[in-house]
Amino acid sequence: MFELFKPEFFRDGLLGELRRSGGYWKGSMVVAPCGTFRLALAGSRKGPGTVPLKLAKELPGRFKSIMPEIQTSLFGHYTPYKEAVDAGEETGSPCPNVVSPEALWPHVAPAHVLVEPLGGVPTVEIAFRVAWDEEHTVGARFQNWQFIELNGSVRG
């Protein structure tokens, strides 16, 4: 009877052990040079979907090629915050002084990687906690490894 409540798990040679929770297969993954991200993959009760699993495995090898788009979009997110602080409109938490997209990485921490369909298209979201916006997690979304948008969500 208690087998119904036993946590489901899936073992992958590259990603390690994934456990099913909240409709996703969850674990963690290291993406250099950022560090360790929480990982969530869409799938069925039997295991992660073939495409989400494949995309998650590809991410570490592709990260350096998509890094410029991520840092440019994060810098675009940062700029209005810095301008508001400089204008005296924002007096909340301190805003770091970042002079270029390449210089923002010390002010960014890994949050999660989510791989699931968005509008029916497999999507990889690489999310970060950022020093200038402590209320949100900011995720760069990719479809077919092409940047589609920067998404902000309330930090949970």
Contact 57, 14 (CB under 8 A): yes
1 pLDDT above the threshold of 50: no
22 has a pLDDT exceeding 80: yes
Write out pLDDT tens, residues 111-143: 999 999 999 999 999 999 999 988 889 999 999
- Mapped onto helix, strand or coil, the DSSP state of residue 144 is coil
Rounded to two decimals, what is the model's pTM?
Answer: 0.91
The mean pLDDT value of the chain amounts to: 91
Instruction: Name the residue type at position 53.
Output: L
Question: Looking at per-residue confidence, does 133 or 30 come out higher?
Answer: 30
In Å, how far are 15, 24, 66 from 62, measured between CA atoms?
16, 23, 7
* pLDDT score of 99: 94
What confidence score (pLDDT) does residue 61 get? 97
pLDDT of residue 86: 86
